[in-house]
Amino acid sequence: MASTIPAFRGTFGNTEFFILTMKAGEFVRSVTIPKELEGWEDLNPEERFQREINYKRVATHIAPYIAHDEDRFIGAFIVEVRNHDEMVFESLVDAGVRFPRGFGNAMNPFGVLYLSGSEIMVPLDGQHRLAALDFAISGKNEKKQDIKGLEPNPHVAQDSCTVILVRHDPEKSRKIFNKVNKNAKPTTKADNLITDDEDYIAVISRTDVVHNEMIPPRVVNTTSNTLSKTAGEFTTLSTIYQINYGIEDAYTGTRPNTTVLPGKSDMALARHNITEFWKAFLKFEPFAQSLADTSEEGDKKRADIRLGSLACKPIVQQILAMVVLEFQKIEEGTKEVSAQGVEEVVARLNRVDWDPENPIWIGVLLQRKDKIIAGTAAANFARRVISYMLGEKLEAVELASLRETFNVMTDGKPFPEPLF
């Protein structure tokens, strides 16, 4: 079917392109994914340069965001036009439209794109977003089956998509596809903690915990999971995230699903549990002292406190949070954080000597005198030892196992007595 579309014409290098908008529903109907082209299966690997669509990723990640999030937004699609011989662009200036003299040549790129209806549009960039639009509007996957957990949203069909059209040229199309997709830099884990709006633990970490009323942003390192000896920050965003993940895991009894936002009531409970935990956890004296002055003037003091207290090392902060959660799991048996229960464990932590010179920490929190532990196994061992020191009751078999591991990890040091 012939159509007339307002468009902007431009060039990049020797490639002519047209920028226009289309309603999402119309766009989905107008564009053909490569594998649905006639003769696609007969193409050799060199000719069939487009990647396969990961429909599971579309159904579980992209489509729910488009269907359910009112703040949804996606980038422009790059689309090649096949059978483009009858596609014609006419600028407004060539059509005789008069503009004020001051516009000069500025209006030459604006005009109308005439499509005969015989054109075939194929996405060079945006296959997954294209499929997600279809899934979000219909609520059905590529096999026309209902998508579990996805409420179809027909209003998406009226959303405007930005489309960049280029004429089909086999060699040029391949280059565009390869350069756009292969040179795209994947986001880092640190980037995702800052930008991911589907991972609700990340959302709560950066909006509720990293907050002036709790841990001000300026004392949180967002790019690393460690702090140097002279760093003025209190902790890292990665550490906060790991602690919050552990809180949610402990109090719900279920590994958090960080690929989709939970319902409002579950989100509210998660916010409550995490913020209540931190309010009590930050009463731990080394933490409270570190955050007493969060201005630039307090940076050196934070570094000095961390130098004299192992408890302020990011990995140890995470271990201590897990220790507190271990006691909560034993004593509370509830899905909601008890600030008083956390404070009781914190009170015990305050009676422990966290000085790096304390020989008890060699082999537990320190690999050697000046080297902090690393790795999940070492962190779990340290958690078990500290929990035992704080008075966790162990079965005879558990205690024997801990003694044996302690003997190996500390080169035969005497096994400590519990402090409580």
> So what's the pLDDT on residue 333?
47
- Residue type at position 345: V
- Residue type at position 95: A
> How far is it, in rounded angstroms, from Cα 24 to Cα 74?
11
> So what's the pLDDT on residue 46?
47
**Tokens at residue 256, please?**
């958090």
CA distances from 321 to 232, 264, 315, 327 (A): 22, 26, 10, 10
Q: Is 203 left (phi over 0), alpha (psi -120 to 50) or beta?
A: alpha
- The stretches of 114-214 forming alpha helices (DSSP H) are 127-138, 170-182, 189-195, 200-204
Q: What are the b/e assignments for 157-183, b being 16+ CB within 10 Å?
A: bebebebbbbbbeeebbeebbeeeeee
Q: Model pTM greater than 0.85?
A: no
Q: Which residue has the tokens 């061992």?
A: 381
Give me the tens of pLDDT residue by residue for the chain, a chain 420 residues long.
788 999 999 999 999 999 999 999 999 999 988 777 776 555 555 455 556 788 998 998 899 989 998 889 999 999 999 999 999 999 999 998 988 888 878 899 999 999 999 999 999 888 899 999 999 999 999 999 999 889 999 999 999 999 999 998 877 777 777 776 665 666 677 777 877 777 899 999 998 999 888 999 999 998 888 899 999 999 999 999 999 999 999 888 888 988 877 888 889 999 999 999 999 999 999 999 999 999 999 999 999 999 999 999 999 999 999 999 988 765 544 566 666 788 999 999 999 999 999 999 999 999 876 788 889 999 999 999 999 999 888 899 999 999 999 998 888 889 988 888
